[in-house]
Amino acid sequence: MYAKYGRLKVAENEVNKYPVTNQEVQEFDACCYTEVGDVFLNRVIHDNEGRYGIFISVSESIMQSEFGALQKSDSNIQVLENKTAVISKIKTDGYFLKKNEAYIARFTYMETKSGILVIYDFASTDESVAKSCYDNMTNYLDEKIRL
């Protein structure tokens, strides 16, 4: 479980970090934190090889429709690409971002049962790893999470 009702499939080579520690919050701040308001880190997943980290955060006060504009106003983040898809009947926004040395495939959607915004960040210092995740957004999320 993550957020309030979502289900997440953790791969064999991944470690689910819940509850999050101060070190994981610092990692999130360095690579993925966006100055958009009340966003809370919910869970962190790392692969055993250290190639990527997954940071799942939520907000009860920000709507998906306003998140994109808020994100663009953060001068620490470069929005390289963005797109929208419907996955499992849920509108999902995808962003390919750069912050500091990290490349991020970011996916946002509203959790239907709770009404909270879920922000799913796949971060890596290897641009090709994060870009592959972003490019394959629909298949990746369809296999990874149940919306």
Kindly write down the DSSP assignment for every residue of 128-140, as one continuous string.
HHHHHHHHTHHHH
pLDDT of 29 over the 80 cut: yes
Q: Which helix (H) or strand (E) holds 69?
A: helix 64-72
Q: Is the pLDDT of residue 2 over 60?
A: no
Q: Are β-strands 78-87 and 102-110 bridged in parallel, bridged antiparallel, or unpaired?
A: unpaired
pLDDT exceeds 60 at position 144: yes
Overall average pLDDT of the 53-79 stretch: 93
- Strand pairing partners for 119? 57, 108
pLDDT digits (tens, 9 = 90+) for 81-124: 999 999 988 999 999 999 999 999 999 999 988 889 999 999 99
Model confidence at 23: pLDDT above 60: yes
Q: What is the pLDDT of residues 48-60, one digit of tens each?
A: 999 999 999 999 9
Q: What is the C-alpha to C-alpha distance for residues 15 and 19, in angstroms, rounded to an integer?
A: 12
Q: Express as a percent the part of the chain with pLDDT over 70.
A: 95
For residue 1, is pLDDT > 70? no
How far is it, in rounded angstroms, from Cα 78 to Cα 90? 26
Which of 116 and 18 is assigned the larger pLDDT? 116
Place of tokens 């990874």: 144
Q: pTM of the predicted model, to two decimals?
A: 0.94
